[in-house]
Amino acid sequence: MTIWKSFGSSVIGPGHIAAGQPNQDAWAAFHHIWGDGIVVSDGLGSKPFSNFGSQAACLAAAHTVHACRRRGQISRASLSEGIRKNWLSFIAPLVPQDCAATCIFAFRLDAGIIYLGMLGDGLAAVVKTDGSVASLSDDKSGGFSNITDALSPGVTEKNWQWLTVLEKNCESIVLCTDGVADDLKDQGVFVREFTNSHRGLPSVSAARRTREMLENWPTPKHSDDKTIACLFREEVADEPVR
């Protein structure tokens, strides 16, 4: 029998500690009979309430997946619009511009399909059963690395990146905010090594080890908040019928 488990961690960056600001990243996981998922969000550092915006983004994604599944309407349009509306509801009465945040999610349903969506920067990667990695990531080659899409009243399906994978072809999924993703020289190697070294651990131990890794991040002068969430499959023996 296949079950899906998750773990993750988020740590405040040295820059925000020095400035007396809160962690502006957030992450969440959800597990139901009908499906499982993870989501990460990075509040835009220039916004005064971006920490609330990132927390609301995680809640909005989880609520939207549940609502879309219940209505039987899983589509890019329904997911993006549902997340936008729920996010606006959750941050009220704060001004949306003061709460802007990215949103990266991945979830699987009982239909056997894994959906991934990414708004803004960061990384969403799938490690497939054949060892290959499929991913969504932001392109900063144009030189505008400080500009990113984020949740706002005007965001639409076209602002998102999308990826679908058959569940049977997927071993694990890793989501990272840009505080992690921007420092990776080879994203595929990192994702494979990260999942291989953590997936055999209990979720609490995997989360603890992930937090230690983020707190001791090797990139010199790193200052950003850092968040990683992982969703992975595990084969367990069926219990005998008594």
Burial of 241 (0-12, 13-18, 19+ CB in 10 A): exposed
β-strand partners of 118: 104, 161
The answer to whether the CB of 228 falls within 8 A of the CB of 206 is no
User: Phi, psi (5° rounding) for residue 164?
Assistant: -125, 145
The DSSP annotation for 146-170 comes to T------TT--GGGSEEEEEEGGGE
Residues 43-74 have pLDDT tens digits of 997 788 999 999 999 999 999 999 999 888 89
Which of the given ranges, 18-22, 142-146, 194-198, 237-241, has the highest pLDDT on average?
A: 194-198
State the pTM of this model: 0.92
Residue ranges and CATH numbers for the domains of the chain are: 2-140+149-235 (3.60.40.10)
